[in-house]
Structure formats: structure tokens, C-alpha cells
Amino acid sequence: MVARLLCTSRLSPAAHSMTADGEVERVATDLTGLKVGILGGDRRELEVASVFHGLGAEVRAVCLPWPDDVGFVSNRLEDVLAWADLLLAPVGGVDKFGQVSYTIVEGQEPPRLTAETLRHVAQGTSLFIGQATSGLREACSEQGVRLVEFRETEEFAWRNAIPTAEGALEMALRLTDHTLHGARCLVLGFGRTGSVIARTLHGLGARVEVLARDGIDLARCYALGFAGESLADLRGAVSDADVVFNTIPVVVLREDVLQRMRRGTVIIDIASAPGGTDFAAARRLGLSAHLAPGLPGITAPRTAGRIVADTVLSLWQNL
Ligand code: NAP
């Protein structure tokens, strides 16, 4: 608690100003005395551990890949849960058994966050996680653990849309035999990831067409220089597409839509599982359709980890 008060007083809004290249400046941030427990993850969480350690926090990790490379010792889950002031679980959250996502470290048991293991956590400790399950929410509430889900916060989702868009474009480049420059690219949905994908494609010289259900989104497309069309016209729009990027988390690329596509069209579906594509129908029709989960952690883990660290710091500062 002493550590939290100390850090909160030093984390002024000025410590979170953003530079032109998107880096968040943390010059005034001093986390000395804060005990941070990282509960599994991938190279993103490794970056988070580095950032917190660099700001003076004491960091202990459970089941983090390559802990020896960066000097963070592996610890027993129960010990870290009892020790930390601030706990961080991965962006991907936990499954229905409480097991954290993305954690594969040979010889180590993946951390489980359950009513049983959370008993070790002191009341009032903050647990940050991308997204929780109802079971984890209940267990935290019973135990008096302050649960903070950050994946759907605007602050995180907008910044995370950048490595997501770059990952989607990297996939498209790999799966096609043509440039994106000049290609007819459809972007389905114009939310956080859809708008960044459209803008990035536009910058590469692609012929971008956005399909959205909301008239205001279509007006924004128009103002930004993209073609925009109602999602209701999707069947007609797909027939001469080279690449389709889907960001809508409900099945919009149904069989009757897929039937209108050319064989060579590539579909990159970034919506959370099971995606917005009827993948079984796509397979039957011989289409190249790909569900693309976890893109930031694959293509830009260091940037993605910094986004997690900055989001957690900012949310924690405002608790
Ligand atoms: P968002 O800002 O909420 O945008 C979602 C878009 O889908 C909006 O344009 C929304 O339109 C549209 N939409 C939602 N439900 C719809 C429906 N029933 N019919 C038609 N349109 C609908 O979300 P986001 O941050 O861009 O994320 C999009 C998806 O990608 C999510 O599933 C997210 O979990 C996933 N994601 C994946 C990765 C990855 O690495 N693969 C990374 C980040 C996010 P309205 O505004 O009209 O509702």
C-alpha cells in the first residue's frame, strides 16, 4: 500500500504524454517499492516485466517463457499471489478452467486463477487481465481482489489496433502473390481495428472499400477518402475483391456471400474466435480463408507489450 501511494503521487498525467512515434514517455514514473507479479504469458508479458523492472518495481514471474534471459526468476504461483501488490495476467485472459492463455513453458505448470488459488491473494490486491471469465469475476469478488479488465478499454484497443493492422497486412502480403498497392481490399467493420486497417491499406496505395452497417461510419469513410458501402450490399461487393479483412465479430461472410467470391480471393478474419466467416463453407468452396488470432503478440510483441504496460500503469494510477 505504501508503494502504491508513493507511485501514485509520482505518476502525474505529464508522465504519460505520447510522442509522435507513439512511445509513451514515463520520465516521471518511479515504481520503487511496488511488487509486481506476472502470471504467465508470452513475449508481450516479458516486455511488460522489463518495463516495470526498468521503472524500479520488483518483478516476479510465474511460467513466463525465457525467464533466465532477462533475469526474472521462476516462482511458485502461490508465493507470487501472496507477495504481489499488483498482479498481471495475459491479454488473452483465462479459459473456463482458469488457466491463463499463451503459457507454454516446458516443465512448468501453467498458472491457474481459480477460487482455490486466489485464496492466497491479499484483499485489495489489483489483478489486471485482458478479459476475465464470469468464474474469475466471481472468484475475485468473493476474495476481495480488485479485478481490472483492460482489453476492451478504448485506451488499449485503439493503440493495440496498430500492431493488429500491421499483422493482418503482413498475413495478406504473405498469402497473396501480388502487391497490396492497387489491390481491391474490402474492410468489413469500421471500428478500432477496421479503421486502422483501412487507413494503413490506403497508405500503401490499395483500393480500399469499407463495409459497415452504421451510416455515421460510412460518412467518416467518405471524409477520410475511402469508399464506403452499406454492409447490406456485401454480397455484391465481394465479387471482385482481392483481399477481404473482416473485423466484425459475428458471421457476416456466410456461404451465400462466399459463393460470390473469386477463387483467388484471400480472407483475413481478425475477429475473435470463431470469427466472422463460415470457415467450413469457405473450405468447401476452395477459398483461402484464415482466422488470425493474437496478431499483436505474433508480429510486434515488444510494441504490444509496451501498450499493455502503459495501459496497466495508466489504469492503476486511476484506481
Ligand atoms: P470494435 O471497435 O467494436 O469494432 C467492431 C466493428 O464490428 C464495428 O464496426 C461494429 O459496428 C461491427 N459490428 C459489431 N457487431 C456487428 C453486427 N452484428 N453486425 C454488423 N457489424 C457489427 O472492435 P475492434 O476493437 O475493432 O475489434 C474487432 C474484433 O477484432 C473483435 O472481435 C476483437 O476481439 C478482435 N481483435 C482481434 C485481434 C487479433 O489479433 N486478431 C486484435 C484486436 C482485436 P457498430 O459500430 O455499428 O457496432
Q: Which three cell numbers stand for residue 141?
A: 469478488
Q: Does domain 158-297 have CATH number 3.90.1150.10?
A: no
Regarding the beta carbon of 298 and ligand 1, being less than 6 Å apart is answered no
Atom number of ligand 1 nearest to Cα 231: 20
Closest atom, ligand 1, to C-alpha of 160: 43
The rounded distance, in Å, linking the Cα atoms of 100 and 63 is 10
Residue nearest to atom 4 of ligand 1 (CA): 191
276 alpha carbon – ligand 1 mean position (Å): 10
Ligand 1 neighbourhood includes 191 CB (under 6 angstroms): yes
In whole angstroms, what separates CA 7 from the centre of its chain?
26
User: Concatenated DSSP letters for 167-210?
Assistant: HHHHHHHHH-SS-STT-EEEEE--SHHHHHHHHHHHHTT-EEEE
According to the model, what pLDDT value does residue 42 have?
86
**What pLDDT was estimated at residue 311?**
97
Q: Is 249 in the pocket of ligand 1 (CB under 6 A)?
A: yes
Q: Is the CB of 192 under 6 A from ligand 1?
A: yes
What residue owns the CA closest to ligand 1's atom 7? Answer: 248
- The answer to whether the predicted template modeling score (pTM) of the entire model surpasses 0.85 is yes
CB count within 10 Å of CB 116 equals 11
The pLDDT assigned to 64 comes to 82
Where do you find CATH 3.40.50.720 in the chain? 31-152, 158-297
Other residues' Cβ atoms within 10 Å of the Cβ of residue 152: 10
Centre of ligand 1 from the C-alpha of residue 91, in Å: 17
Distance 196 CA to ligand 1 centre (A): 12
Residue nearest to atom 18 of ligand 1 (CA): 250
Q: At 299, give phi and psi (nearest 5°).
A: -90, -30
Closest ligand 1 atom, CA of 195?
A: 26
| Ligand 1 center–CA 248 separation, angstroms | 4
Burial of 74 (0-12, 13-18, 19+ CB in 10 A): middle
143 and 120 Cβ atoms separated by less than 8 Å: no
**pLDDT of the chain, 319 residues: tens digit per residue:** 333 333 333 333 334 555 545 555 554 589 999 999 999 988 899 899 999 999 999 999 988 876 555 556 668 999 999 999 999 999 999 999 999 986 666 777 789 999 999 999 999 899 999 999 999 999 999 999 999 999 999 999 999 999 999 999 999 999 999 999 999 999 999 999 999 999 999 999 999 999 999 999 999 999 999 999 999 999 999 999 999 999 999 999 999 999 999 999 999 999 999 999 999 999 999 999 999 999 999 999 999 999 999 999 999 999 9
User: Which ligand 1 atom is nearest residue 167's CA?
Assistant: 40
State if residue 231 touches ligand 1 by the CB under 6 angstroms criterion. Answer: yes
pLDDT of the residue at 277: 98
pLDDT in tens, 131-175: 999 999 999 999 999 999 999 999 999 999 999 999 999 999 999
CB of 112 closer than 6 A to ligand 1? no
* Protein fold of 31-152: Rossmann fold (3.40.50)
Cα 191 to ligand 1 centre (Å): 6
pLDDT of residue 308: 97
218 vs 174: CA distance, rounded Å: 29
Ligand 1: residue of 166, 221, 233, 272 to mutate (most ligand atoms within 8 A of CB) is: 272
pLDDT of residue 71: 59
SS3 state at 224: helix
The per-residue pLDDT for 67 is 52
- Residue 248's alpha-carbon distances to 38, 109, 169, 263, in angstroms, are 31, 35, 17, 22
Ligand 1 pocket residue status of 247, Cβ below 6 Å:
yes
Q: Which of 152, 186, 193 to mutate to test the pocket of ligand 1 (most atoms within 8 A of CB)?
A: 193
Q: What is the pLDDT of residue 207?
A: 97
